[in-house]
Homo-oligomer: A and B are copies of this chain.
């Protein structure tokens, strides 16, 4: 069994090293911050401290507070906010339903990471963002978890279809990521019964070291079929969750059009009241 990236204790140590260069407030618990940043690389943790310090400076404060670290984490995770970006009304509605689709599937599928935030304020290259944050460092992924991820990625497209009767290019990135997960499940993690616990080289990486079979057209066809099945199952799961929870999706989208961003508590409240 294999892992990458620093663990929680490694992150705490990295944060301590970078925090020496800035005046950190007494309320700040670096161990706590380390826990809330699973998957962050060393460079991202350095960036986190810098961004937190900048937020403090902009607010005219001498010391970096816990809130500065919160804002900094969101920026590192999701990119800078681009409030200036003007969307048409229809684009805002599209975005609100799209993100609500992601969020409701993520909130209701067992085994998915907890939701951290949903927003229709453009950040980085995204018009809207639905962000999950795992409770602890994750070193391996179960089939159930990966299937849930695919369904969550499909939730945006599904919500647009069911509520707005439209299909847009905006789901392109979701589609790419879902296909990539499905391909890994089939070709690297041995999670397809038809293909079994074998590694399958795919044309996408023909120059890498040879690590599998995946040679013949017949095998390639099977791989394609299995990957297609995995994504379609996630799509169907997402469709059922959104269809059964139309009220929650609609309520969240309406709220997002009013307040633009929802945190974990706000999301829970809407889903609870829509149930």
Which A residues from 205 to 248 make CB contacts under 8 A with B? 205-206, 209-221, 223-224, 227-228, 231-232, 235
Given contacts A167-B142, A176-B188, A196-B228, contact A10 B223 (CB under 8 A): no
Decide yes or no whether A139 CB sits under 8 A from chain B. yes
Count of interface residues, chain A, beta-carbon cutoff 8 Å: 86
Which A residues from 60 to 92 make CB contacts under 8 A with B? 82, 84-88, 91
Copies of this protein chain in the complex: 6
**Smallest CB separation, A64 vs chain B (Å):** 26
Chain B residues near A167 (CB, 8 Å)?
Answer: 142-143, 189-191
Q: Is the CB of B190 within 8 A of A175?
A: yes
Q: Is the CB of A127 within 8 A of B183?
A: no
Interface string of A133-147 (1 = CB under 8 A from B): 000110111111010
Task: List chain A positions with a Cβ less than 8 A from chain B.
Answer: 1-4, 7-10, 82, 84-88, 91, 94-95, 98, 122, 125-128, 136-137, 139-144, 146, 154, 156-157, 166-176, 178-180, 182-184, 188-191, 196-199, 201-206, 209-221, 223-224, 227-228, 231-232, 235
